[in-house]
Amino acid sequence: MNDAVNIAENILSGKLSAMEITQTTLTKIAAINQELNCFTNITIETALQDAAKIDQEIAKGNNPGILAGVPFAVKNLFDIAGLTTLAGAKINAENPPATQDATAVTRLKKAGAVLVGALNMDEYAYGFVTENAHYGTTHNPHDLNRVAGGSSGGSAAVVAGGLVPFSLGSDTNGSIRVPAALCGIFGFKPTYGRLSRAGVKLFSSSLDHIGHFANSVRDIATIFDVLQGEDEKDPVCTKRPIEKCLPQINNDINKIRIAIADDYFAQSADPEALAVVQKVANALNVTEYVTIPEAKIARAAAFVITACEGANLHFEKLKFRPQDFDPATRDRFLAGTLIPQHWYIQAQRFRRWYRDQVKEIFQNVDVIIAPTTPIIAPLIGQQTMNLDGVEIFVRPHLGLFTQPLSFIGLPILSVPINQENSLPLGVQLIASPYNEALILQVATVLELQGIASSSIKHNSRMHQQ
């Protein structure tokens, strides 16, 4: 069972028990995780204890929550009480265990969800491939020779591999959307500041979002509603009133104005990555195009801000323990320390201008369609790719279409698009801030039409190519 809401409904009705689901999940993890390398820690004891408590509550006639008994896992930069938060780093393994759960984990547990572990990622969330020098590479369930994407690679692969129905990740420049697309599942990055980041090891504070992966629009909406709410522990988290998305979602999109992103977002990609965008546009009868101005510069500015903020955060360890970093991360952080201050200031100034330009576009359009990644999942260890006849590096360019959008904190859902005899690709549905419900409504229509649906691999040994 890969549908979170369906699992909870069966547990609440007595058709299944939380203990039964949790034990089955842990058995599946033990059998498959070795080949996928999703987990850095499996919380067997606490998961079984939490499942038993949920069953006891149900036996008493109580309702443990909308996610009662649903197993989930989190990227290992979310604090889990009793575990050391690694954030993909060897250095962090020396830290003491967290004393309390991250706010997002706490809210999911209060809704009845059962945490089963922490998930692999790129070191300090700086990457798009989850090839981690310390904790190994996470493999794509659709082809074990390919990357799962990153930096939330473990979070995407664990859902796409059928181990848990949903997981948490973080997104700075595309770290939820890229692996969601490459693994063929839904990946949601709500508006910047909409969800609390308290208890999360940040990478670039002015860009970092948290979000989640799941197999259906209903699950994405349900989890989003659970995670919403002001949090005084996170000063970035807005005081905006909670607006439940699930009750707003239906299949009527006649009044939603949808357009296709052209120019920058229609270049430098394999034909199949652009073809899935057209497939979505055809399904929705969309013929209007919009140009997001200076997206290339926005991406460059995002690079500058990310490198500066990340390098500053880890500056002391870079000075005294450079040998303990993942080389791929260390070298980019070191480059970040050399960026002149005025570059960072100019990048932030451009960010304000760019935000205003995109805001104007949303005066006439509600949802924009764009590709998520320029290619299917690259091979593990693949260094370069060829786009439009130009050979470029894989690692920085998997975020080609995601960086210019997270740069200004827009809510975005990467939707998995059905393709026969092909590895997964995704399409981004983009809206203006706090319009998550519009995105989910459009995604619902695509799901009902069979255009969008997750592709789950239950036995990954069968999918080596």
Q: What amino acid positions are annotated as catalytic residues?
A: 75, 151, 175
294/367 Cα distance (integer angstroms): 19
At 170, which helix (H) or strand (E)?
strand 166-171
Are 307 and 396 within 8 A, CB to CB? no
Q: For residue 371, which phi and psi values (nearest 5 degrees)?
A: -65, 155
Separation between Cα atoms, residue 214 and residue 235, nearest integer Å = 27
User: What is the pairing mode between strands 289-290 and 367-371?
Assistant: unpaired
Q: Which region holds residue 403: left if phi is over 0, alpha if psi is between -120 and 50, else beta?
A: alpha
> For the residues of 318-375, what is the DSSP string, one character each?
HHH-GGGS-HHHHHHHHHHHTS-HHHHHHHHHHHHHHHHHHHHHTTT-SEEEEES-SS
CB distance 242 to 205 below 8 Å = no
Q: Quick one: DSSP state of residue 161?
A: T
DSSP run (H or E) holding 386: strand 384-387
Contacts of 194 (CB under 8 A, 6+ apart): 209, 228, 237, 238, 240, 411, 434, 436
Compute the distance between CA of residue 2 and CA of residue 246 in angstroms, rounded to an integer.
19
102 token code pair: 């991250």
